């Protein structure tokens, strides 16, 4: 009888051991020797993305397009279903690049009907959502009727591209109306220099506010061809000078890490750039400033502008940070100190153009490790929910990396 009990106990212990092995040991071994079911290895995934970039970029557009409301409204679900002129402008640019006229027209119609309600110009209110009364409209109480000059510029560029791609002069007429009003409401002339301000609200400020990531350098060369009545190329020159000053100036720190800030202010008397005066805005290199690098990179890609390459070569902080830490964080102070301890997908998408121009091998490393693995070859969309903002900027970064963001105004001949 005692022997029988010993046998039962032994078998029970063996069963318990096998159970513990299955729960705690075998999965750890499996993780090291094979990917999870349904998920391709990073190496195979990257090979697919590199081999079929056109398909990947198109699939990611389709996935994003399907999230746009049927009437053409782009929704930021992380911010109480907010809609911004920025979001509408991204959808317009992406749809015209992808030759998706139906989506372009739907987004443009919603944008015009809902954000184009400013009485004195053809510019766009920047913020639309659910107000205190429970109605969906421009959030006037939150300054939503004001403009954001980056969105106005991107919408104008998208319209010009639409004119060339689909041969409809109505798009061009709309674009030139917007360009004209931008000069009236968003561009400041000071001592013979022209400054693109953050929006109409900044023009009457004692110290006008500038967001360097709103400078659409490549677009200015396009605007100059369709609108010869305004000095777009002078604006472009001034914008590069402002960006360089904002980057090199220590602003509110003893030193600068030579990275662009989110916001700065302009001295009306001297034209000097200094730390932004608004308490709700910072000089950090963060979600706004990331885009500066992409916009400069686009100018280099389209026009091989020496000013663009000269600026990109200044951003050695990014190279050093990657080499030292094998990652980039989601926000840095202007002096280079980390502001957060997490990474940002939009950061990688936006600054990829720097790495590609400054060190192509390093650019490929960043792309292969941080961008390409985000594509799921089975579902043909991102491996996870990135959010409205990151989905856009990862896509813009991938498309620029693979040279898919064509200057449609010059590439499409009459």
Residues facing 82 on adjacent strands: 76
Active-site residue among 100, 150, 154, 262?
A: 150
CA distance 201 to 199: 5
φ/ψ of residue 128, rounded to 5: -135, 135
Q: Give the strand pairing for 273-275 and 264-266.
A: antiparallel
99 vs 315: CA distance, rounded Å? 34
What backbone torsions phi and psi does residue 209 show, to the nearest 5 degrees? -85, 135
Active site residue 50: no
Query: Other C-beta atoms within 10 Å of 363: how many?
Result: 19
Q: Which residue matches tokens 């001034």? A: 238
Residues 20/21/25/29 CA torsion (nearest 10 deg): -150
Long-range contacts at 97-102 (CB < 8 A, ≥ 24 apart): 97/161, 97/399, 97/404, 97/405, 97/406, 97/408, 98/57, 98/58, 98/61, 99/165, 100/61, 100/65, 101/162, 101/165, 101/166
Active site members: 150
């Amino acid at each position: 009888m005692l022997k029988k009990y010993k046998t039962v106990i032994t078998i029970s212990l063996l069963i318990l051991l096998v159970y513990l092995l299955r729960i705690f040991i075998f999965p750890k071994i499996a993780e090291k020797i094979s990917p999870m079911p349904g998920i391709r290895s990073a190496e195979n995934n990257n090979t697919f993305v590199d081999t079929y970039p056109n398909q990947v970029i198109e699939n990611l557009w389709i996935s994003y397009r399907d999230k746009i409301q049927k009437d053409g409204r782009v929704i930021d679900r992380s911010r109480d279903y907010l809609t911004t002129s920025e979001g509408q402008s991204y959808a317009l640019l992406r749809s015209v690049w992808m030759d998706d006229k139906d989506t372009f027209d739907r987004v443009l119609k919603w944008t015009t009907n809902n954000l184009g309600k400013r009485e004195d110009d053809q510019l766009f209110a920047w913020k639309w959502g659910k107000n205190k009364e429970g109605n969906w409209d421009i959030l006037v109480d939150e300054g939503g009727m004001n403009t954001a000059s980056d969105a106005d510029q991107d919408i104008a560029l998208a319209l010009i591209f639409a004119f060339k791609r689909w041969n409809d002069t109505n798009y061009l007429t709309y674009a030139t109306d917007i360009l004209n009003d931008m000069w009236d409401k968003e561009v400041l002339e000071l001592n013979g220099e022209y400054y693109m301000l953050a929006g109409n609200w900044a023009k009457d400020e004692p110290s006008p506010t500038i967001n360097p990531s709103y400078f659409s350098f490549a677009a200015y060369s396009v605007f100059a061809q369709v609108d010869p009545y305004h000095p777009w190329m002078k604006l472009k020159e001034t914008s590069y000078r402002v960006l360089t000053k904002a980057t090199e100036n220590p602003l509110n720190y003893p030193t600068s890490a030579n990275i662009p800030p989110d916001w700065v202010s302009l001295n009306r008397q001297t034209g000097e750039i200094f730390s932004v005066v608004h308490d709700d805005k910072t000089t950090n290199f963060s979600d706004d400033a990331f885009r500066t690098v992409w916009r400069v990179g686009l100018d280099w890609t389209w026009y091989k502008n020496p000013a663009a390459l000269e600026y990109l070569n200044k951003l050695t902080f990014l190279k050093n940070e990657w080499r030292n830490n094998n990652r980039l964080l989601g926000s840095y102070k202007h002096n280079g100190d980390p502001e957060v301890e997490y990474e940002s997908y939009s950061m990688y998408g936006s600054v990829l153009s720097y790495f590609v121009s400054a060190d192509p091998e390093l650019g490929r490393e960043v792309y292969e490790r941080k961008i390409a693995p985000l594509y799921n070859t089975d579902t043909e969309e991102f491996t996870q929910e990135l959010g409205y903002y990151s989905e856009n900027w990862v896509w813009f970064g991938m498309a620029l990396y693979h040279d898919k963001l064509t200057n449609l105004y010059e590439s499409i001949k009459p």
